[in-house]
Amino acid sequence: MAESPYFENVHDLINRPGEMREREHDFAVPAQLGEGLISVPKGALMHLSVRLESVHEGILATAEVQTTAHGECGRCLEPFDQSLQLEFQELFAYSVQEGDEYGVHGDHVDLEPPLRDAVVLSLPFQPVCRPDCLGIDPVTGEKRQQGDVEVASDEIDSRWDALSKFMTTTDSDDE
């Protein structure tokens, strides 16, 4: 079984408060991070810079992550890439006391759960290819461009005829 790129060996740091080690490496993301309109796909290149510090309670991991998310614009549906740069810090306890804590497993820590949380939480809920994206024209279905003038239509859909008669009747009753 191949070792996960998220595993960090901490054998030399366990129970040695004050010891520290830094490591940087690049790897292909083994599984997609995120869902929906934007995610970091499997195989995308990720740069991970991690500092591991031994403290009395466990191993403190401070990490910087750089990668690229691939998505689809929520307005115009065009594909786009978004650079991600984020940091996170997590304590991996020697003895896990609560369900929401991460722990040291044997001689390693698994950075995948906190890294996955940090990446997914940094992804936009409604991604756009650019902040001023105008989206798709609802009539033509074409992507709107800067400078397009929206013309107000006086045409009323025939399905609303009954309501327009009601509005005419109500307006004449008010007088």
pLDDT digits (tens, 9 = 90+) for 138-170: 888 888 887 655 555 667 778 877 787 776 655
Q: How far is CA 75 from the centre of its chain?
A: 17
Model confidence, pTM: 0.74
What confidence tens digit (pLDDT) does each residue in 65-97 have? Answer: 999 999 999 999 999 999 999 999 999 998 877
- Pairwise CA distance, residues 129 & 141, whole Å: 18
Q: What is the pLDDT of residue 170?
A: 53
Domain boundaries, the chain: 7-122
Q: Which of 71, 70, 68, 79 shows the shortest CA–CA distance to 143? A: 79
- The more confident residue out of 11 and 157 is 11
